[in-house]
Amino acid sequence: MAAADKPTIEVKGLSKSFGNNLALGGIDLKVATGKTLAVFGPNGAGKTTLIKILASIMKPTAGEVYMNGLSLKDDAEAIRSRIGIVSHQTFLYGNLTAYENLHFYSRMYDVPDYKQRIKQVASMVGMQSRLYDRIGTLSRGMQQRFAIARALLHKPDIVLLDEPETGLDQRAIAMLWDLLEEDGNAKRSVIFTSHSLERGLNACDDLIILNKGKIACCRSGDALDIAGLQKLYMDSTKSIDETAG
């Protein structure tokens, strides 16, 4: 394996089309170890498609994805054991308790010493008191917290988040970002999509703006303030109707 400056996530020429509809057209990006990338863009820009392909839920039409040096095409299963994903759906089973859900995923991810780890992640998200309640009886915000716990169970090197604030209240959102920063893994690389420019800017090291399946622009997170980002966002994501005036 190469030295530490080899990027954890590397995407080359990634494309995805659904029939005649080109959702992603040639995406290139790199995320270094321990860095966080924010992906902004309007609805339909391809953000969710990008996350799904990185999570290996979808296969790309063209292009290559490498994570930790492994190719997604050849070693998908090995890669999946190192990825945690938080989506706007929780991936939790309503009939089972939080504990049973986390136990299930522990078995799926071969988490060692899972009893301990489950209690640990539950307290990380501040939900240890509700661990033995059925997921279906919890509020949306609480469910999403357990979803985050689920994502972090196996101490993933790579975390993907697809608009994770959906359904969360302000406190939970704040907790989410604190959690990602502090869960003791400096080597963790994160890619997230968000509609909230401000939060996203604060949380990221680098950012890209997607529009119509292509990268409209990319910047380092330090290079902009929120006003600058807003202007950049508006400029990059003009639709055809708007430019026609």
Taking the complex as a whole, the smallest distance from the CB of residue 186 to other proteins amounts, in Å, to 23
Taking the complex as a whole, the smallest distance from the CB of residue 193 to other proteins amounts, in Å, to 15
Site residues for other proteins, 186-205, by CB under 8 A, read none
The site string for other proteins over 222-241 (x = CB under 8 A, - otherwise) reads: -----------------xx-
Please report whether residue 57 would count as binding other proteins according to CB under 8 A: yes
Binding segment for other proteins (CB under 8 A), chosen from 78-86, 123-131, 191-199, 225-233, is: 78-86
Please report whether residue 170 would count as binding other proteins according to CB under 8 A: no
Please report whether residue 48 would count as binding other proteins according to CB under 8 A: no
Taking the complex as a whole, the smallest distance from the CB of residue 220 to other proteins amounts, in Å, to 29
Please report whether residue 215 would count as binding other proteins according to CB under 8 A: no
Nearer to other proteins, 94 or 141 (CB): 94
Please report whether residue 90 would count as binding other proteins according to CB under 8 A: yes
Candidate residues 32, 58, 217, 218; the one interacting with other proteins per rule CB under 8 A: 58
Binding segment for other proteins (CB under 8 A), chosen from 6-14, 33-41, 88-96, 167-175, is: 88-96
Only one residue has tokens 């929120």, namely 226
Task: For residue 218, give both structure tokens.
Answer: 């990319």
User: What Cα–Cα distance (Å) separates residue 177 from each residue in 24, 31, 35, 64, 221?
Assistant: 28, 18, 14, 29, 16
Residue 132 phi, psi dihedral angles, 5° rounding: -105, 20
Binding segment for other proteins (CB under 8 A), chosen from 64-72, 90-98, 112-120, 173-181, is: 90-98
Distance CA 158, CA 71 (A): 14
Taking the complex as a whole, the smallest distance from the CB of residue 129 to other proteins amounts, in Å, to 21
Candidate residues 94, 115, 187, 220; the one interacting with other proteins per rule CB under 8 A: 94
The 3 state secondary structure assigned to the chain is CCCCCCCCEEEEEEEEEECCEEEEEEEEEEECCCCEEEEECCCCCCHHHHHHHHCCCCCCCEEEEEECCEECCCCHHHHHCCEEEECCCCCCCCCCEHHHHHHHHHHHCCCCCHHHHHHHHHHHCCCHHHCCCEHHHCCHHHHHHHHHHHHHCCCCCEEEEECCCCCCCHHHHHHHHHHHHHCCCCCCEEEEECCCHHHHHHHCCEEEEEECCEEEEEEEHHHCCHHHHHHHHHHHCCCHHHHHC
Candidate residues 4, 64, 89, 231; the one interacting with other proteins per rule CB under 8 A: 89
Task: For residue 46, give both structure tokens.
Answer: 């391809």
Candidate residues 8, 36, 87, 189; the one interacting with other proteins per rule CB under 8 A: 87
Binding site for other proteins (CB under 8 A): 17-22, 52, 55-59, 61, 77-78, 80-81, 83, 85, 87, 89-96, 100, 104-105, 107-110, 134, 150, 212, 239-240
